[in-house]
């Protein structure tokens, strides 16, 4: 795949933010995020809008999302902030001298790094866009966003607004996002922490970095397969719960873990609707915390799907209004004391085994990513593989289906492929069980 950069430009908002010296301090939620750029790849088959149309729409939508056109800086108290200075975002236009594969995928496409801007340290722009034009007329958008800018919900909202602006250029009824970051982290009159947040959200965890090299893998779960899984859970469950229960079991078997090992999942939880009063879904920023369901390997593999769903559900339920308010109070107390909280994240090349980390895009509507010629044919995050990471995404090929992107050790991939579609329900009855988690 030969590529040629035809243009690089700094795109600014069509309408500048009213004050170019406004500094927005990072919230306690922002400070738990990965401190760097996260790449996304969105694939569109021909026909597609022109680069001129895409850039015009992008400039228009940046006027509604001034943080994206800003820069990271420090205020007088040496707090990290986003400066709303209308500095703009980097746009790179690329010509690709080949035909776009109709089945472009995370693990099946070489040189994916050529399709999105660099995510190395030291990049000033908080958002970058690369428009890759193929000879057939196909388009691959490589979008990178600094995670301090916003979480998955925020970037999804931004992309949907961009698509709407390009799709209906004469319409100006774009919903204004909720931008007040300070409003979501107001502590209680008497701040009080009820949980050990310093050792939950900011804990330093040592993982095994000496396992075999990890490899990315994409697995599609059809509507019928998901229905079969749901049928194993009397009383019903969500698509997320049944698939996560299934993958937790199958990955544990593929890894060949000891029965006495404990395995835990770090589940990203969107807190917007869990705090009272609820924060609007169109809030642009970070508002994610994590749930930690935990089981002994022997129990995980012998419990029924329904029982594993209960364990997951109870762990997720713990991220409630009480927990979120405690976390906000923790941030206020730490700020008052001048404490510098360091973001903790798993480095590339690390293995999470025996644990897992899951992010879900199932709540995001990819039909909204229609720039006027149909929704994308593929969407994924081309991250360097970290063994044990999983992402759920609505399938672009089958409505109601789910595409799962995961990374496993190369020597475990074949085993996982052999068993990932087998459903072997445990003979253990569906009794009520507790929810062992690492938090409590």
Phi, psi of 365 (to 5 degrees): -100, 105
DSSP string, 241-268: HHHHHHHHHHHHHHHT--TT-EEEEEEE
Cα 129 to Cα 31: distance, rounded to the nearest angstrom: 24
Catalytic residue flag (residue 370): yes
Nearest to 233 by CA among 318, 312, 310, 314: 310
User: Would the CA dihedral through 180, 184, 190, 192 be positive or negative?
Assistant: negative
**Pairing outcome for strands 127-134 and 89-96:** parallel
Active-site residue identified among 37, 67, 147, 246: 147
Catalytic residue flag (residue 64): no
Phi, psi of 356 (to 5 degrees): -135, 160
Check residue 332 and report its DSSP letter. H
CA dihedral 166, 168, 173, 174 (to 10 degrees): -20
Check residue 189 and report its DSSP letter. S
According to DSSP, the residues that pair with 94 across neighbouring strands are 5, 132
Alpha helices per DSSP H over 194-337:
223-230, 239-255, 297-302, 305-317, 321-336
Active-site residue identified among 228, 299, 370, 411: 370
Phi, psi of 89 (to 5 degrees): -120, 155
Residue given tokens 């990203």 in the structure block: 268
Cα 284 to Cα 407: distance, rounded to the nearest angstrom: 29
**Are the C-beta atoms of 374 and 195 separated by less than 8 Å?**
no
Residue given tokens 């809008």 in the structure block: 49
**Are the C-beta atoms of 62 and 174 separated by less than 8 Å?**
no
At 166, which helix (H) or strand (E)? helix 152-167
Q: Which residues are catalytic?
A: 147, 370
């Amino acid at each position: 795949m030969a590529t040629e950069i035809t243009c690089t430009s700094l795109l600014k908002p069509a309408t500048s933010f009213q004050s170019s010296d406004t500094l927005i301090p990072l919230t306690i939620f922002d400070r738990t995020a990965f401190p760097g750029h996260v790449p996304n790849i969105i694939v569109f088959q021909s026909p597609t809008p022109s680069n001129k149309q895409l850039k015009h729409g992008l400039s228009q939508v940046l006027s509604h999302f001034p943080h994206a056109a800003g820069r990271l800086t420090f205020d007088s108290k040496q707090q990290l902030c986003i400066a709303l200075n209308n500095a703009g975002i980097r746009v790179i236009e690329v010509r690709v001298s080949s035909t776009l594969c109709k089945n472009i995928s995370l693990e099946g496409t070489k040189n994916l790094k050529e399709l999105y801007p660099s995510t190395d340290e030291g990049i000033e722009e908080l958002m970058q866009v690369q428009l890759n034009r193929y000879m057939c007329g196909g388009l691959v958008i490589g979008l990178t966003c600094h995670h301090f800018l916003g979480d998955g919900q925020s970037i999804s909202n931004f992309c949907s607004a961009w698509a709407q602006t390009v799709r209906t250029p004469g319409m100006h009824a774009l919903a204004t996002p909720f931008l007040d970051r300070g409003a979501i982290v107001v502590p209680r009159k008497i701040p009080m922490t009820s949980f050990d947040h310093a050792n939950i959200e900011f804990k330093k965890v040592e993982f095994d970095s000496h396992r075999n090299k990890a490899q990315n893998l994409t697995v599609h779960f059809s509507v019928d397969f998901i229905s079969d899984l749901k049928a194993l859970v009397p009383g019903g469950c969500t698509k997320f719960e049944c698939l996560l229960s299934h993958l937790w079991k199958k990955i544990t078997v593929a890894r060949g873990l000891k029965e006495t090992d404990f395995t835990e999942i770090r589940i990203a939880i969107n807190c917007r609707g869990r705090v009272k009063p609820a924060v609007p879904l169109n809030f642009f920023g970070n508002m994610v915390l994590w749930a930690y369901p935990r089981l002994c390997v022997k129990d995980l593999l012998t419990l029924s799907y329904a029982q594993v769903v209960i364990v997951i559900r109870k762990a997720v339920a713990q991220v409630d209004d009480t927990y979120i308010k405690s976390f906000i109070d923790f941030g206020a107390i730490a700020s008052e004391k001048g404490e510098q909280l360091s973001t903790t994240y798993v480095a590339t090349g690390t293995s999470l085994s025996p644990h897992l980390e899951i992010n879900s895009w199932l709540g995001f509507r990819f039909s909204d990513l229609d720039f006027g010629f149909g929704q994308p044919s593929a969407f994924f995050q081309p991250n360097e593989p970290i063994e044990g990471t999983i992402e759920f995404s609505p399938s672009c090929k089958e409505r109601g289906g789910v595409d799962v992107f995961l990374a496993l050790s190369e020597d475990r991939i074949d085993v996982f492929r052999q068993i990932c579609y087998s459903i072997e329900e445990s003979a253990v009855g569906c009794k009520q069980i507790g929810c062992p988690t690492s938090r409590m």
